[in-house]
Amino acid sequence: MNKLFVGIDVGSRDNAVYIMLPDGDKHSSFSMHNNLGGAQMLSKRVVSALEEKNLTSVVIGIEATGVYGENLMSFLREDGALARFERKLFVLNAKQVSKFKGSYSDLPKNDPVDAFVVADSLRFGRIGFPIQMDDYRYIALQKLTRARFYAVQNLTREKQRFMNYLFMKCSGLAQESAFSNNYGVAALAVYEEFETPDDIVNMDLGALTTFIAEKGSNRSPRPEEIAKAVQAAAKGSYRLPKTVNDSVNQVLSISISSMRAMQAQIKALDKEIARQFENIPNTLISIPGFGPVTSAGIIAEVGDVNRFAKGQSALAKYAGLVWKENKSGMFEGQITRLIRSGNRFLKYYLCEAAFALVRCDTEYKRFYDLKYKEVNKYQHQRALALTARKLVRLVFRLLKDNRLYIPA
């Protein structure tokens, strides 16, 4: 084995480096600043070790630490001095590194030791495949799709907080489905412009009907029915003391502004994702229900599908769509759970895509319905995860063969 192994424990200010020889012996360890100068020093030290030991290839790995290691990996990928050697770059799952470290019973917890563990993980080789993508189009797209993921999560949380405060202001509207969309324009106008439930109850039904119709741009076919339902819900709601009610109204107003801002952010991200996605030829867009955002979210995380040498099963494991086996001797557990590791962004976009496909493709709808009816608990979550796992096979094959989707 003619390889040098370099483990790096990344920090916001400094990185600990451990250079390991092919037989597992230590070559050197040192600390470097997490900046351009430190990266250049690291490159010189690695090249010096390769030349000193007459080695031709180097394997460099870091533990996944958010953004702190991305600039360093980009530098190492582009560095001309290292280009003379065969190099592989890995970003290791933190859980994987922790489990590997557990095989050493007496190791302390510090940065140099963590760098050693990363290097030794690389030497043992059971680390999957390089997940650092060389094509910057994927990386650029990934920044946008991940930002959108976080924006959607933030919007979801804000909506949950909003409904909690709406229950305080007008419990009936939070309990009943007076509006088809609780976050639609007409619904938000009622929540924001009427200060108390009594203001809704005391308003003339015709005037309330006109208000709802105008705020909804006259899109609702039954504004009078909605107005009656809103008044009935308001009538049965709790009443707050005025001081508390004023505070709740202020919080709701801020929450509505926050949701509108987040929706505008998501819309802007969708537009930029679609623009950048045009630069990446793919066939996923041919699948029914797959728009540019969903397709881009998957492509950005998968990158070059050829790096999944073990096929679609490796892609499923990378997405976290694999179930733990619960079996011992003659016992086989009936309840199995998804593994906790995996790329949560890829899992999210695959599940979103699967749900869209269920609505558009009869084969996937039949599969979803079948899995939904098999159990009495967690029906939707289980059926959706299994449908997403089925979708992985389709995604892998389309990308691998570069062909369009043809419905069965």
Which pLDDT tens digit goes with each residue over 226-272? 999 999 999 999 999 999 999 999 999 999 999 999 999 999 999 99
CA distance 171 to 372: 33
Contact 303, 133 (CB under 8 A): yes
Measured at the CA of 108, the angle between CA 102 and CA 114, to 5 degrees, comes to 70
pLDDT digits (tens, 9 = 90+) for 272-284: 999 999 989 889 9
- Tokens matching residue 8: 């790096």
pTM summary value: 0.86
CA distance 392 to 289: 15
pLDDT digits (tens, 9 = 90+) for 121-143: 999 876 655 555 567 889 899 99
**DSSP H stretches of helix in 102-204:** 111-124, 136-169, 171-175, 185-193, 197-201
CA distance 396 to 390: 10
Mean pLDDT over residues 34-53, rounded? 95
- Tokens matching residue 398: 């389309």
Residue 127: C-alpha distances to residues 75, 124, 150, 299, 324 (Å): 22, 8, 28, 22, 19
User: In this model, does residue 218 exceed pLDDT 90?
Assistant: no
The SS3 assignment for 105 reads coil
pLDDT digits (tens, 9 = 90+) for 157-189: 999 999 999 999 999 999 988 898 899 999 999
pLDDT digits (tens, 9 = 90+) for 343-401: 999 999 999 999 999 999 999 999 999 999 998 888 999 999 999 999 999 999 999 99
CA distance 79 to 249: 57
User: In this model, does residue 331 exceed pLDDT 80?
Assistant: no
Contact 289, 359 (CB under 8 A): yes
Write the single-letter amino acid at 393. R
Contact 22, 139 (CB under 8 A): no
Question: Which domains occur in the chain, in start order?
Answer: 3-132 (3.30.420.10), 141-274 (1.10.287), 284-401 (no CATH)
User: In this model, does residue 55 exceed pLDDT 60?
Assistant: yes
Query: b/e string for 61-85 if b means 16 or more Cβ within 10 A?
Result: bbbbbeeebbebbebbbebeebeeb
pLDDT at 333: 59
For 32, list phi and psi in degrees, rounded to 5: -140, 150
